[in-house]
Amino acid sequence: LAIFVYQDGWLSFLRLSQLGRRTGGAMSWMSPCISCSVIIGLGLDYDIFYSESIVEKKHGGCSDSEAAVRALKETANTISAAGLIMAIAFSSLLFSSTPTLNEIAFLLIIGVLIDCFVTTKIIIPAAMAVLDGWNFWPRNFDDSTSSSSPMQIEQSSDGRMA
């Protein structure tokens, strides 16, 4: 998408120099490198937040599909708000006079929005439904683990932690 914007000039009709065709003809080699590492970090943050909520639902006795839907219902607004805040923050770089910063900002905005609204809301829940039963392999969520958390500390009858 960035190639179409910065090398082919797809958004030149907006008459914004920050989103126009590059006079040199090519994007900076640093833009994808920097943007990729930031997007992976942010994407993992959102996805871990969602995945941990799924695990909580699984411990509550839900099936994989049901856990994915309930976790999405709980985390969707938070993930959406965080993604929009990050996109707004990165959009400030679009107003820079440095072309490389414009490219990085564009890639970060597109990446965050795709991760928050496509990957976390559509692709991951769909994969959870398709892989039902295999999502947490080799971890086993049997009936004995659904009633207690694996991190729960047992307390002996005399009040000391066991």
pLDDT digit string (tens) for 138-160?
Answer: 777 664 444 444 444 445 555 55
pLDDT digits (tens, 9 = 90+) for 68-93: 999 999 999 999 999 999 999 999 98
What secondary structure does DSSP assign to 127-154, as a single string?
HHHHTTTTTTTT----HHHHSS-TTPPP
Beta bridge partners of 155: 161
- β-bridge partners, 22: none
**Neighbour count for residue 15 (Cβ, 10 Å):** 8
CA–CA distance from 89 to each of 54, 75, 83, 86, 104 (Å)? 29, 21, 10, 5, 12
The pTM of the full predicted model, rounded to 2 decimals, is 0.72
Residue length of the chain: 162
User: 127: closest CA among 53, 68, 73, 70?
Assistant: 68
